[in-house]
Amino acid sequence: MIIARVVGHVVATQKDPSHDAVKLLRVQPLSPEGEPSGEPLVVVDTLDAGAGDRVLVTLDGWSAGKVLGRSGATVDAAVIGVVDEIRPSV
């Protein structure tokens, strides 16, 4: 899993049937310090995250399909949480 920030939406008029009525987001992975880290990703979203939200993303295909509710769907990344706060360990 990674923490990322939603930086945009992806619109695809032609896509695999397993993606019908699925919201696609472009997210920027973040470092532990909250800085951009690595290349942006496209993820499926069932939690209605919006631009600027910090999200928890799974990069495991099985888990992403499970979140989507479509076992065997052609996905490899999905939003599994919207991050409200990150607290440092003490």
Phi, psi of 7 (to 5 degrees): -120, 0
Residue 69 pLDDT grade (very low, low, confident, very high; cuts 50, 70, 90):
confident
Residue 90, domain member (yes or no): no
Residue 26, domain member (yes or no): yes
Residue 10, domain member (yes or no): yes
- Whether residue 4 contacts residue 49, with contact meaning beta carbons closer than 8 Å, is answered with no
Residue % of the chain over a pLDDT of 70: 100
Q: Which domain holds residue 27?
A: 2-82
Number of domains in the chain: 1
- Residue 29 sits in a domain whose CATH number is 2.40.50.220
pLDDT at 72 over 80: no
Residue 39, domain member (yes or no): yes
Residue 88, domain member (yes or no): no
Residue 52, domain member (yes or no): yes
The confidence score (pLDDT) of residue 74 equals 86
pLDDT at 88 over 90: no
CB atoms within 10 A of CB 77: 21
The confidence score (pLDDT) of residue 67 equals 86
Residue 71, domain member (yes or no): yes
Q: C-alpha distances in angstroms, 53 versus 7, 15, 35, 36, 71?
A: 8, 25, 14, 14, 27
Residues forming a β-bridge with 56: 3, 81
Residue 72, domain member (yes or no): yes
Residue % of the chain over a pLDDT of 90: 61
User: pLDDT tens across 5-23, in order?
Assistant: 999 999 988 888 878 888 9
